[in-house]
Every structure is written in structure tokens, then in C-alpha cells.
């Protein structure tokens, strides 16, 4: 693709922004010169250990509980191949292509740091999959987040040796055939390389990075939706004063309140205290506190994921300067598991308070608007079932927010006797994000309809823009019609960032 951005991997400087570009297929990936030197240095240590006949886990021994079994020099290559085949035990639906792209990118970046002892050819083979758009078929289930994401990464690595299946242009075909048609040769793995390919946190990190990127957008869209609902419900802006955050200095609260003030600047629909009601309900009055707490959770999760993007997570690790190969536990997914469970809860809370604002919008006893936001109620049901859907999604999120990280089932004959379940936490957080996007889409639809009744020309400039973007894709509801397409259309505006981009052109930006 001419003019594509290029991401240069060095194992230390990959950003969420570059990650997102690669998983969207908007960037090419190359290996930096310093990374090449570091890779060669670490490989030299492995080869010296082999020549000297040292006992090194996963190099001259078996794996897991078989770590006490010595492997003869002439069996080293077979050991690495067997490892990939035996560990490709995933089940369930295949991971989406963007997630697989993310896994390949992150595995290559981790190996490029120069602490894994693989040859340069291994990383180049991974990058060739991205370059030729060959994406291994990877079942979503099977990782415990113990020695990392063993099963999913084994399915990725199989493609490098011409085993398993890949997707090319949406078509599923044998990896050996796909490599041949792309002019690529299957890789013959040397000592340690199979282990280095599958011992890591790249599934949970790829999923987690996607959730963080989506949550970053959602956190700001939640403020847009709250501001739009505030106008439709004739709320006040007093509780969004910076004075409250000054005396209770949580940074997320301050950012949410600042966003709400920017969004409602110039509004002719908000009211003064006592004009309509003395105090707004919590879903409006406490929006900075509730949204802000989730923003703080997002900030924590973002920090964890950003560190993991450039982490070395296999075992054993090679330290070239000291000439050491050390066994440790960097593959353990606990840091991500905890952070992603926390992020799932934060996402669920944005959806939870949003659904309660939807209820106020459709309930005439609470809103002062027509029942279910339709003029001829009775004959038409309006947005009645939209609130049902929002409630169902919020309820589902409550189930999904049960933490995965508190569970552990020992494996490998009790060698791996505490596991993180980080991949499950990541998959759950991904599902909660999708549900939250749809709940906020429902609130935006209802709030836009409320503004149609109030008079959108009196709304704040930023909110008028948000309303206009929604109306470009969804017409005002005057008579009953299928609501599913409307909800999905606005959820798409949330997910892609199109709604947010239009609003931020007016506000000069919003803070996640």
C-alpha cells in the first residue's frame, strides 16, 4: 500500500498508536538495526551453551514437568517442532484477524529486544506473515495465562513451519500452500526457538491493547452522551464545577468535569438550580465522579498494557552482556489479568450509568418528554425496547465482570501451580467493551431524539455537531421501525471514533 506508515521495531518503543495502525493494516513493520545487533548477541550465547553442553531449560531439556529429561544434541530441532505441534491445542472460534496481527507484531517486538536467544530469521519470518497478509488460524480458547498464552501462540508459530492453517484474503488454506504461493520457505527451528515463540503474553496483550484503545474512545464518548442527555433532560451544570474536583482531587473526576463543561459551553437548554429542580438525579449530578473513576481505572490499565507492549515475556531469558541464560517467570500473566479485570469493571460502569440515563429519557414521569420519546404513544412504542436492550447488555456485563484473575487451576503435573487466567480476563473485557459501545449508542439515540423535541438549535455547539453526525446515519424516529440497524449504526460511530472526531473539532479535544 503506497504511502503506508512504517513501524520500526526495536523491542522498546512500540506505542499503542503504532499498535493500532498495524492491527488495522495501516502500517508496514520493519526491524531496526540496533535490534538486529541485539538479536545476534543473544543468539551467540545460546549457541555457545550448546557447544559447551550446558544444561539449559527448553534448550537441552524437555518442557514443564519434563524439564528433568535431557535432550540429545541431534534431537534439538525435533524438540522445538514437537513443542509447537503438541501445544497447538486451542479450541473454539477463531480469533479475528486484527487480534492475530497484534499477536504477530507483539511476539516479533518482544523477540527483537534481544533477550530471547532466537536467530534473526525467526523474527523476519514473523514479519513476513504481516507483509504477505498471511494470518494463522488461532482458536480463541485454551490459554491459562500461565507460561503465557502457550496454545494460541503455538497456533501462530505453526504457520512459520508450514503447519496448521492461515487466512489469506479471507480464505482459509493450509499454511504450507500459503507460504509456497507467497514465495516463502517454512522455517526450520533451532534450539530454543519454538519455546521462545510460544512462551509469552501476546494474546492477552493484543486483546488488552485493543480494549484500552477502544476504552480511550469510549471514555470520551460517555462524556458526550452524558452532556447530550443533560441538555435533553434540562439538567444543570453546577455539579460540573472545577471546585468539586479541587476538594476531592481524583484526576479522572477533574477530566470528566472539564469535558462536560466544554461540551455544554454555550448551551441554551441547561437550567439553573431551582428553575426546574433543586438537584439533578445522580446520573447527571454524579457523572464526573462515576465517569472519572472509570477514567482512573483506564489510566492504570493503559500503563500496564503500554509496559507489556515492550516487555520480554518468554523463558529462559538470555542476558548477552553477562553471558547468562536464566529461568524465571516473566511469562506469567498476572499483571495483565488484574488490570483487565479492573478495566472490564470500569467499562461496565460507563454502560451502567448510561442505561440509567436512557431510563430517564424514555420515562415521561422523569423526563418531561413524550413517553418513550415518540409523539403518538400507544400506536407507536418508540424507544421502549431500546431501553430493554440496554438493560440486557448491562446485566450481561455484570456476569462478565466476575474476575478471571482470582481463579487458578494447576497444570503440567503441578509444575505450573498458579496461573493467571489473563487471556480469559482479556476476552471478557473485549466483550464488555462491545456491550458498552452499544449501550452508549442507545443513549446517544435517545438523547438525540430528546433534543429533537427540545429544539436542537438551542443545544451547545459541540452537542449540535454530535446530533448532526447521528442524524447523518439515523433519521429521527416519528413512527415505529426496526431499531437494531439504528443502534448498530451509532455503535459504529462510537467504535470508529467518527462521532468523537467531529465533536473534538469543536471542543479542541476531550480527555480520556
Give the containing element (helix H, strand E) for 194. Answer: helix 193-198
pLDDT for position 2: 45
Query: Domains in the chain, please, with CATH?
Result: 5-200 (1.10.275.10), 207-320+332-411+418-507 (1.20.200.10)
- Segments in the chain below pLDDT 70: 1-3, 63-65, 67
- Residue in the block written with cell 428553575: 275
- Tell me the torsion sign for CA atoms 259, 260, 263, 264: negative
pLDDT for position 321: 94
- The CA-CA-CA angle for residues 360, 363, 364, to 5°, reads 115
- Residue in the block written with cell 438549535: 457
Q: What Rg, from alpha-carbon coordinates, does the chain have?
A: 26
* 269-291 per-position pLDDT tens digit: 999 999 999 999 999 999 999 99
Q: Which residues are the active-site residues?
A: 57
Give the containing element (helix H, strand E) for 171. Answer: strand 171-174
Q: How many Å apart are CA 476 and CA 420, to the nearest integer?
A: 48
Burial class (CB in 10 A: 0-12, 13-18, 19+), 62: middle
The model's pTM: 0.95
pLDDT for position 67: 67
Q: Which residues pair with 217 in a beta bridge?
A: none
Report whether 293 contacts 343 (CB < 8 A).
no
- Residue in the block written with cell 540429545: 72
pLDDT for position 3: 55
Nearest to 326 by CA among 39, 45, 40: 45
pLDDT for position 197: 97
Amino acid at each position: 500500500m503506497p504511502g503506508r506508515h512504517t513501524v520500526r521495531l526495536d523491542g522498546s518503543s512500540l506505542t499503542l498508536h503504532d499498535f493500532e495502525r498495524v492491527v488495522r493494516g495501516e502500517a508496514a513493520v520493519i526491524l531496526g538495526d540496533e535490534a538486529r545487533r541485539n538479536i545476534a548477541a543473544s543468539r551467540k550465547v545460546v549457541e555457545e551453551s550448546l557447544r559447551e553442553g550446558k544444561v539449559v531449560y527448553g534448550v537441552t531439556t524437555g518442557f514443564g514437568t519434563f524439564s528433568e529429561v535431557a535432550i540429545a544434541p541431534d534431537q534439538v530441532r525435533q524438540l522445538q517442532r514437537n513443542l509447537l505441534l503438541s501445544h497447538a491445542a486451542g479450541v473454539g472460534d477463531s480469533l479475528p484477524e486484527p487480534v492475530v496481527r497484534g499477536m504477530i507484531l507483539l511476539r516479533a517486538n518482544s523477540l527483537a529486544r534481544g533477550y530471547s536467544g532466537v536467530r534473526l530469521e525467526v523474527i523476519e519470518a514473523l514479519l513476513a506473515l504481516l507483509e504477505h497478509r498471511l494470518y494463522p488460524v488461532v482458536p480463541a480458547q485454551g490459554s491459562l495465562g500461565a507460561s503465557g498464552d502457550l496454545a494460541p501462540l503455538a497456533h501462530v508459530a505453526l504457520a512459520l513451519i508450514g503447519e496448521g492453517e492461515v487466512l489469506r484474503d479471507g480464505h482459509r488454506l493450509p499454511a504450507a500452500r500459503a507460504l509456497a504461493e507467497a514465495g516463502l520457505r517454512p522455517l526450520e527451528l533451532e534450539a530454543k526457538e519454538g519455546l521462545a515463540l510460544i512462551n509469552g503474553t501476546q494474546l492477552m496483550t493484543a486483546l488488552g491493547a485493543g480494549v484500552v484503545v477502544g476504552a480511550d474512545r469510549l471514555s470520551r464518548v460517555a462524556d458526550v452522551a452524558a452532556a447530550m442527555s443533560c441538555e435533553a433532560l434540562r439538567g444543570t451544570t453546577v455539579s460540573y464545577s472545577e471546585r468539586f474536583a479541587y476538594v476531592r482531587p481524583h484526576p479522572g473526576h477533574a477530566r470528566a468535569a472539564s469535558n462536560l463543561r466544554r461540551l455544554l459551553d454555550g448551551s441554551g437548554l441547561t437550567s439553573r438550580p431551582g428553575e426546574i429542580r433543586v438537584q439533578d438525579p445522580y446520573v447527571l449530578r454524579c457523572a464526573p465522579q462515576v465517569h472519572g473513576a472509570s477514567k482512573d481505572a483506564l489510566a492504570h490499565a493503559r500503563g500496564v498494557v503500554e509496559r507489556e507492549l515492550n516487555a520480554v515475556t518468554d523463558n529462559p531469558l538470555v542476558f548477552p552482556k553477562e553471558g547468562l541464560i536464566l529461568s524465571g517467570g516473566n511469562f506469567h500473566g498476572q499483571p495483565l489479568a488484574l488490570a483487565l479485570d479492573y478495566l472490564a469493571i470500569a467499562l461496565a460502569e460507563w454502560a451502567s450509568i448510561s442505561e440509567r440515563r436512557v431510563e430517564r429519557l424514555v420515562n415521561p414521569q422523569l423526563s418531561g418528554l413524550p413517553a418513550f420519546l415518540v409523539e403518538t404513544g400507544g400506536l407507536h412504542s418508540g424507544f421502549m425496547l431500546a431501553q430493554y436492550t440496554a438493560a440486557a447488555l448491562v446485566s450481561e456485563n455484570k456476569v462478565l465482570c466476575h474476575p478471571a484473575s482470582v481463579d487458578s487451576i494447576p497444570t503440567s503435573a503441578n509444575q505450573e501451580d498458579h496461573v493467571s487466567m489473563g487471556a480469559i480476563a482479556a476476552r471478557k473485557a473485549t466483550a464488555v467493551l462491545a456491550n458498552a459501545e452499544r449501550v452508549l449508542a442507545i443513549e446517544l439515540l435517545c438523547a438525540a431524539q430528546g433534543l429533537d423535541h427540545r429544539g436542537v438549535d438551542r443545544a451547545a455547539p459541540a452537542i449540535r455537531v454530535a446530533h448532526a453526525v447521528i442524524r447523518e446515519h439515523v433519521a429521527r424516529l416519528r413512527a415505529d421501525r426496526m431499531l437494531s440497524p439504528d443502534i448498530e449504526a451509532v455503535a459504529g460511530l462510537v467504535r470508529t471514533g467518527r462521532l468523537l472526531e467531529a465533536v473534538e473539532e469543536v471542543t479542541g479535544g476531550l480527555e480520556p
